Chains A and B, each alone.
Chain A
Amino acid sequence: MQSSVGDPGAGKRGMNLTLRIWRQKDPTVKGKMVTYKVTDISPDMSFLEMLDVLNEQLIMQGEDPVAFDHDCREGICGMCGVMINGEAHGPQQTTTCQLHMRSFKDGDKIDIEPWRASPFPVIKDLAVDRRAFDRIIQAGGYISVATGTAPEAHATPVPKKDSDAAFDAATCIGCGACVAACPNASSMLFTAAKVTHLGLMPQGQPERDDRVVNMVAQQDREGFGGCTNIGECSHACPKGISMETISRLNHDLLGALRAGARPKS
């Protein structure tokens, strides 16, 4: 019923593409860029569907398919993400799964690489380990409220503008594009998004100082680079998290340090 490559049904002529993909068997071996060709790719395909086509071909040839992370394929889970021709998630400001092949043209050469940062070691091919982000959240990216202890929801009104701004920051999907795009491999935008989200809510105030010093200490401990205010992160962010969050983090951090907050060791 299948194994057809490309999309004969779309009525548009498919594209032929040359892919250069980073292949690396596991974290212990060296990887390299390997060239593949795919033919008759429909412009309506998503980028990951194009990779599916390649992988079906590879399996049928008895070769190891290209490992890449993905899950929801609707741009919200944050699982997917590769460098496409030198840009995190490719030429559009969206997730890799929401990038469509109409952004490319017949005959294009496409370089596909994993996120590169030492805190994101390659697991295989294009899949990397992003648990460093979880550890940054563990360092303080939460409000300590045990289940069942919450007061009535309307007890604390929240100004709409604060709530809206908190929401904007809270839309971060933790994909890691900010780190991948940053020339310093800094995780500042990720950390700042959470610090901003919780710092803008009244519920987040009691832990605000400790949160920021601990989360920043953890991102340094993970081995991410430092922020030098370049802005590649925000530009690559599929959710458009603003650099303003980083300013807010800096502001909170300096305030917290002045107030005597120190990271837990």
Chain B
Amino acid sequence: MPLELFTAGEPIADTKAPADVPIGERWSERRFRGRLVNPANRRKMTVIVVGTGLAGGSAAATLGEAGYKVKSFWYQDSPRRAHSVAAQGGINAAKNYRNDGDSVHRLFYDTVKGGDFRSRENNVHRLAEVSVSIIDQCVAQGVPFAREYGGLLDNRSFGGTQVSRTFYARGQTGQQLLYGAYQALERQIAAGSVEQNARTEMLDLIVVDGRARGIVARDLVSGEISTHFADAVVLATGGYGNVFYLSTNAKGSNATAIWRAHKKGAYLANPCYTQIHPTCIPVKGDYQSKLTLMSESLRNDGRVWVPKERGDDRNPREIPEDQRDYYLERIYPAFGNLVPRDIASRQAKNVCDEGRGVGPGGLGVYLDFAEAIERLGRPAVEAKYGNLFDMYAQITGEDPYSVPMRIYPAVHYTMGGLWVDYDLQSSIPGMFVIGEANFSDHGANRLGASALMQGLADGYFVLPATITEYLADGPFEKIDDSHPAAVEALQSVQAQVQKLLNINGTRTPASFHRELGQLMWDLCGMERSEESLRKALDRIPEIRQEFWTNLKVTGDWHSFNQTLEHAGRVADFIELAELMCIDALHRRESCGGHFRAESQTPEGEALRDDENFAYVAAWEWTPEGQPPVLHKENLEYEYVHLAQRSYK
């Protein structure tokens, strides 16, 4: 690894988890040792929470209930829009309602293993412990989970686990859980404990004497850029999958909050860990703005195949059985179509790279229900998957009952994020990061139905308990707009916004975003290599250069200007993309969602290098022109033994 791409810094470590007690006691011990804030003092302290998804919404509501003054920010019109709303599958919890051998320890074990041994044991164990309380909380809020005829909660097995621990609300679990958090939040807004800032986007972090003390935000309606101060700042702004332009994220999902916090000193960990979901509806044309996920459950009954011959563009129904390649069943006879997400995705890419892909551009594989319809009958298939089939038909105009679905992998989730310790505090004291925005729980690969669990664990239970340790030193000295740090942050944001408007070139923000996304997909997507990443690292600075000299944004910043919003987000995505490629290049092993072509088993499976890479890569930003600094957090496995995954 040539030195010019990054420099090595001091190692870092989490110092907050009490290592002197067994793992099962650490969370309660941490809560006991952490200082508390007495109720009278809570009223004197303000906490900013950015984002209102499962993590941010639940955190803001819970902190408001506890008596803090909370300022909540979101870029949409209502907190109910946050993209957690789109999660389909379910939420895991170690309730063991099925009496099938589940336990906190098993959920912990599965999550560490599923994360391909790149997550922090302490955090994951706590997640598994807290999972049971989440279900209690959500049920009490009136979340209409699926139930059995006896009136008790139903569970299903999800994502290849051997126990049924997934709670769900038809195909709209995220929506229902989010509305629970949203309603709790609105209740606190009505009670006056949470101040609402709708359609307001965080554009910078204000750091005073090494502590996070506020944010600079732009009111997207009036265009006004202003400062907001607090005793602590919580970022719950989600993942950065939209760096790929096309993803299953919402159009507005962006990395601006975490990236600007990163530029203010917060370490960004494992940015190259991205999850590619295997069952999405393929791209149809270059106008495409968004990819839509089809629930993973479809692989329970659908069979994945492509024609054996390259370029066979016959109607799929006319291709005889012996000329079809059911490649997952062929390569993985034990798991077949149910192999984990990363494997299913990569194999789809492989067959398409061989020229055997189907549909426009050859970027798709068939997911065929003909056999299931014959075996179970159409009514049974309809009952199980009817809403998914309808969704598919709505988007593609094809009837999946009569022609096989076409699917292709798409970027879905980012396991990387801002580095946090056991208290979920970033490397900037006073700034906490929760939900998908942090890096901590999923390692290099997230298991199905674990994102909702983590978001709510962080927001309802973990952050409200750990933030008290920090706030016990507060309230901190009052600051206002005249503080030099606030003036500097405000002015730099205004200058950047003005700069975007002044370029007046010939390309729209969307055109740069699409170009960047295509590049990242091709060179830093499902499979990365030294060569592809170097190519990307040559190309990204050129895109950035062109962006800052040839961008066109109409209008001004004193009004509702969606083009300007997009331009600012693309500027940050370009910078983040570069760090992702550096991270991917430096990690010369394959693990979870990160597959390096150079590091695979003879059978073509991901090959970890625990000797050299069993660490978290936490990156420190350095001013432009200087390479980022890598801080390693060593990962130790006391309770789950390192092993190579196998699904053969």
Residues B69-126 near A (CB distance < 8 A): 76-83, 85-86, 95, 97
Q: What is the distance, in angstroms, from B171's C-beta to the closest C-beta of chain A?
A: 10
> Does A246 touch B at the CB level, under 8 Å?
no
Q: Which residue of A lies closest to B292 (CB)?
A: A74
Evaluate contact between A137 and B175: CB separation under 8 angstroms: no
A148 touches B461 (CB 8 A): yes
Which chain B residues in 159-196 approach chain A with CB under 8 Å?
169-170, 172, 175-176, 179, 182-184, 186-187, 189-190, 196
What B residues does A44 contact at CB under 8 A?
A: 284-285, 396-397
Q: Is A198 an interface residue, CB under 8 A from the partner?
A: yes
B319 vs chain A, min Cβ distance (A)? 20
Partner of B395, one of A77, A100, A149, A164: A100
**Cα separation A3 to B509 with both chains bound (whole Å):** 11
Measured CA separation A10–B287 after assembly (Å): 11
Given contacts A7-B284, A73-B250, A203-B140, contact A171 B175 (CB under 8 A): yes
Check A2 against B515 for contact (C-beta < 8 Å). yes
The minimal Cβ–Cβ distance linking B405 to chain A, given in whole angstroms, is 15
Closest chain-A Cβ to B467's Cβ sits at a distance in Å of 13
CB pair B136 A152 closer than 8 Å: yes
- CB-CB < 8 A to B361: which residues of A? 9
Chain B minimum-CB-distance residue to A65: B563
Bound CA span A167–B138, Å:
14
In the complex, which of the residues A45, A69, A151 contacts B140, with contact meaning CB atoms closer than 8 Å?
A151
Contact among B83, B141, B251 with A143 in the assembled complex (CB-CB below 8 Å): B141
- Choose among A42, A63, A131, A142 the residue that contacts B554 (Cβ–Cβ < 8 A): A63
Instruction: Check if B568 is an interface residue, CB within 8 A of chain A.
Output: no
- Collect the chain B residues with CB atoms within 8 Å of residue A157's CB: 147, 150-152
Q: A2-B511, A138-B190, A148-B133 are in contact. Are A154 and B80 (CB under 8 A)?
A: no
Q: Is B7 an interface residue (CB 8 A)?
A: no
Contact of A67 among B289, B514, B560 (CB under 8 A): B560
Neighbour of B78 across the interface among A8, A163, A174, CB < 8 A: A174
Min CB distance B335 to A, Å, is: 28
Chain B residues near A156: list those with CB within 8 A: 139
Residue from A7, A25, A129 in contact with B77 in the complex, judged by beta carbons closer than 8 Å: A129
Contacts of B81 in A (CB 8 A): 71-72, 77-79
**Chain A residues in 8 Å Cβ range of B402:** none
Residue B210 lies at the interface, judged by CB distance under 8 Å to chain A: no
Kindly state whether residue A146 has any CB partner on chain B within 8 Å: yes
Does B135 count as interface, using CB distance less than 8 angstroms? yes
Q: A52-B287, A72-B250 are in contact. Are A142 and B187 (CB under 8 A)?
A: yes
Contacts of A152 in B (CB 8 A): 136
**Quick check: is B508 within 8 A (CB to CB) of the other chain?**
yes
> A-facing mask of B462-487, CB < 8 A → 1, else 0?
00100000000000000000000000
Whether B187 and A144, one on each chain, are in contact in the complex, defined by CB atoms closer than 8 angstroms, is yes
B541 CB–A CB distance under 8 Å = no
Measured between beta carbons, the chain A residues less than 8 angstroms from B18 are none
Determine the chain B residues whose CB is within 8 A of the CB of A137 once the complex forms. 182-183, 186
A153 to chain B, nearest CB (A): 4
- Cβ–Cβ < 8 Å partners of B169 in chain A: 167
A46 in contact with B289 given A1-B514, A100-B394 (CB within 8 Å): yes
Q: Report the separation of the CA atoms of residues A123 and B289 in the bound assembly, to the nearest whole angstrom.
A: 24
**Whole-angstrom distance between the Cβ of B623 and the nearest chain A Cβ:** 30
Determine whether the beta carbon of A9 is less than 8 Å from that of B95. no
- Interface size counted on chain A using CB atoms at 8 A: 89
Given A63-B554, A67-B560, A163-B145, also A72-B518 (CB < 8 A) = no
- A-side contacts of B323, CB under 8 Å: none
A76-B460 in contact (CB<8A) = no
B503 at the interface (CB under 8 A from A): no
Give CA–CA (A204, B520) in the complex, Å: 48
Complex contact A76–B289 (CB within 8 A): no
B350 at the interface (CB under 8 A from A): no
Known: A1-B515, A151-B136, A197-B142. A65 touches B562 (CB 8 A): yes
Are the C-beta atoms of A7 and B286 separated by less than 8 Å? yes
Q: In the bound complex, do residue B221 and residue A123 qualify as a contact, i.e. CB atoms below 8 Å apart?
A: yes
Contacts A45-B287, A100-B394 given; indicate if A147 touches B187 (C-beta within 8 A).
Answer: no
Q: Report A85 CB to chain B, min CB distance, Å.
A: 19
Which residues of A have CB within 8 Å of B553?
59
Interface presence of B198 (CB below 8 A): yes
B515 touches A153 (CB 8 A): no
Given contacts A1-B515, A131-B198, are A124 and B360 in contact (CB under 8 A)?
Answer: no
Which chain B residues border A114 with CB–CB below 8 Å?
A: none
The answer to whether A153 and B83 have CB atoms under 8 Å apart is: no
Docked pose: A74 CA to B175 CA in angstroms: 12
B560 pairs with A153, CB closer than 8 A: no
Given A9-B286, A56-B510, A143-B183, decide whether A79 and B77 contact each other with a Cβ distance below 8 A.
yes
Interface contact B150-A147, CB-CB below 8 Å? no
A145 surroundings in chain B (CB, below 8 A): 137, 140-141, 184
Nearest Cβ on chain A to B359's Cβ, whole angstroms: 11
Interface: A159 (CB within 8 A): yes
A102 to B393, CA, bound (A): 12
**Cβ–Cβ < 8 Å partners of B77 in chain A:** 69, 79, 129-131
Partner of B153, one of A123, A149, A154, A204: A154
CA distance A69 to B519 in the complex (A): 28
Within 8 A of B (CB), among A138-194: 138-139, 141-154, 156-160, 163-164, 166-167, 170-171, 173-174
A244 within 8 A of B: no
Complex Cα gap A42–B519 (Å): 25
In Å, the complex CA distance between A49 and B189 comes to 35
**Cβ-defined contact, B252 with A71, below 8 A:** yes
CB-contacts of B610-648 with A (<8 A)? none
Question: Which residues on the A side are within 8 Å of B196 (C-beta)?
Answer: 134
**Segment touching A, from B58-66, B227-235, B365-373, B581-589:** B58-66
Using A46-B289, A59-B563, A167-B169 as known contacts, say yes or no to A78 and B552 having CB atoms under 8 A apart: no
- Distance, CA A235 to CA B392, complexed state (A): 22
Is A119 among interface residues, defined by CB-CB distance under 8 A? no
25 A-B residue pairs with Cβ-Cβ distance under 8 Å, sorted by A, are: A2-B286, A6-B287, A8-B285, A10-B284, A42-B287, A45-B285, A46-B289, A48-B289, A52-B510, A56-B511, A65-B554, A72-B83, A78-B78, A123-B221, A145-B137, A145-B140, A147-B137, A148-B461, A150-B139, A154-B97, A159-B147, A159-B151, A160-B148, A167-B170, A174-B80
Binding site for A on B (CB under 8 A): 58, 61-62, 65, 76-83, 85-86, 95, 97, 133, 135-142, 144-153, 169-170, 172, 175-176, 179, 182-184, 186-187, 189-190, 196, 198, 221, 248, 250-252, 284-290, 292-293, 360-361, 391, 394-397, 460-461, 464, 506-508, 510-511, 514-515, 518, 552-555, 559-560, 562-563
Among all A-B residue pairs, the 6 with the closest Cβ atoms: A157-B151, A7-B285, A150-B140, A142-B183, A138-B190, A167-B144
Q: Given A10-B360, A75-B391, output 18 extra A-B contacts at Cβ < 8 Å.
A: A1-B511, A9-B285, A11-B360, A48-B289, A63-B554, A74-B248, A76-B85, A76-B175, A77-B83, A79-B81, A123-B221, A129-B77, A130-B78, A154-B97, A160-B151, A163-B147, A167-B176, A174-B80
Name A residues whose Cβ lies closer than 8 Å to a Cβ of B: 1-4, 6-11, 25-26, 42-46, 48-49, 52-53, 55-56, 58-60, 62-65, 67, 69-79, 94, 98, 100, 102, 123-124, 127, 129-131, 133-134, 137-139, 141-154, 156-160, 163-164, 166-167, 170-171, 173-174, 197-198, 201, 203-204
